[in-house]
């Protein structure tokens, strides 16, 4: 069932950002640095109970019940204007059968995150029609050195600016220092954007929360992915009939790659083969994913892909 698009209210200066941990936990320093950063940008913050208590249950930020309760609070509390996941990690998919989608639908809000948070974006889109925002983590890691911190704060500033814009964003461009966007297969296509981390997308195939790729522009990225794992993910979507239903493909970044076995093709070679096999407009190299530069990509919004020119253009508003 395809739902009407649910557009959340924009994030205005002075608004409150809830920091939540639906997957894994952050360090205290990252949470404190993030709260200070948002205050300097003109926003207030509210910490979810799992974030505030630095809760950990194995590699999760709490039990399923605790993480669901934190998300429900963030959507239901009228003092919260936007919800940022402090990081990805593992475990968001455990929440999907336990979430109150009527509650989310009744309180549409900006929800931003990436990596493991892909599962929540796709579930909210499938069950509520809620536009989601695949972008930088809401926490602010400070242990990677001056250049790393500069990139992280730039990513968040860029995202905050876009989340306050009620008009269409226009072209999504790689920031200075990011890699060149190349044509994977020529042509033009339009459709609503969907996707995220390739491992999480394929994890949901065959479930009630799987993304709908029909008439969609499909974007995907990966971390610690081998050529074989990217190939397996795409063949799973192909055999499920999903890739054939999409209108075009956007390959983001594949970072922290393991050392390839001798004779293995590169990920770029795997992608080129798939682009040729599918024969759909495709580009590769937008700064989507786990790299230094993290573009904000709206899920559920109409966009136009010009693969020959390496351009992706957001053509409708993302927020009210």
Q: Where in the chain is the domain with CATH 3.40.50.10740?
A: 16-163
Task: Kindly tell me if the per-residue pLDDT of 226 is higher than 80.
Answer: yes
Lowest mean per-residue pLDDT among 72-76, 185-189, 257-261, 286-290: 257-261
Closest by Cα among 219, 172, 150 to 314: 172
Tell me: pLDDT of 218 over 80: yes
The CATH number given to 170-314 is: 3.50.30.60
Q: Are 292 and 148 in contact (CB under 8 A)?
A: yes
Give which of 255, 250, 308, 312 is closest to 278, Cα–Cα.
250
Strand partners, 133: 112, 298
Quickly name the fold that domain 16-163 has. Rossmann fold (3.40.50)
Residue ranges, CATH 3.50.30.60, the chain:
170-314
Q: Which positions are annotated as active-site residues?
A: 115, 221, 290
pTM for this predicted structure = 0.96
> 35-72: per-residue pLDDT in tens?
999 999 999 999 999 999 999 999 999 999 999 999 99
List, in sequence order, the alpha helices (H) in 129-187: 146-163
Tens of pLDDT, residues 80-106: 999 999 999 999 999 999 999 999 999
pLDDT band at 257 (very low <50, low <70, confident <90, very high): confident
Beta-bridge partners for 193: 217
């Amino acid at each position: 069932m395809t739902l009407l698009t649910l557009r959340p209210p924009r994030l205005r200066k002075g608004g409150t950002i809830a920091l939540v941990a639906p997957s894994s936990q952050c360090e205290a320093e990252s949470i404190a640095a993030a709260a200070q950063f948002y205050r300097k940008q003109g926003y207030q913050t509210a910490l979810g109970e799992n974030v505030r208590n630095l809760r950990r249950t194995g590699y999760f930020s709490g039990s399923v019940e605790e993480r669901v309760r934190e998300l429900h609070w963030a959507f239901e509390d009228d003092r919260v204007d936007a919800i940022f996941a402090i990081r990805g990690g593992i475990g968001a998919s455990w929440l999907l059968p336990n979430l109150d989608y009527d509650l989310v639908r009744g309180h549409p809000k900006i929800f931003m995150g990436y990596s493991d948070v892909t599962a929540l974006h796709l579930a909210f889109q499938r069950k509520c029609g809620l536009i989601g925002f695949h972008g930088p983590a809401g926490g602010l890691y400070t242990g990677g050195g001056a250049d790393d911190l500069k990139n992280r704060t730039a990513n968040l500033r860029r995202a905050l600016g876009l989340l306050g814009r009620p008009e269409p964003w226009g072209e999504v461009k790689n920031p200075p220092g990011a890699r060149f966007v190349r044509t994977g297969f020529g042509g033009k296509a339009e459709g609503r954007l969907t996707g995220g981390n390739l491992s999480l997308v394929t994890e949901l195939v065959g479930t009630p929360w799987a993304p709908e790729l029909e008439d969609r522009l499909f974007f995907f990225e990966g971390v610690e992915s081998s050529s074989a794992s990217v190939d397996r993910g795409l063949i799973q979507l192909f055999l499920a009939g999903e890739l054939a239903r999409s209108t075009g493909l956007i390959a983001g970044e594949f970072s922290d790659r393991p050392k390839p076995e001798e004779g293995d093709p590169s990920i770029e070679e795997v992608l080129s083969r798939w682009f040729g096999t599918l024969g759909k407009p495709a580009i590769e190299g937008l700064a989507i994913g786990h790299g230094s530069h993290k573009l904000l990509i709206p899920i559920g919004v109409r966009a136009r892909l010009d693969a020959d020119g390496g351009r992706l253009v957001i053509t409708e508003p993302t927020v009210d």
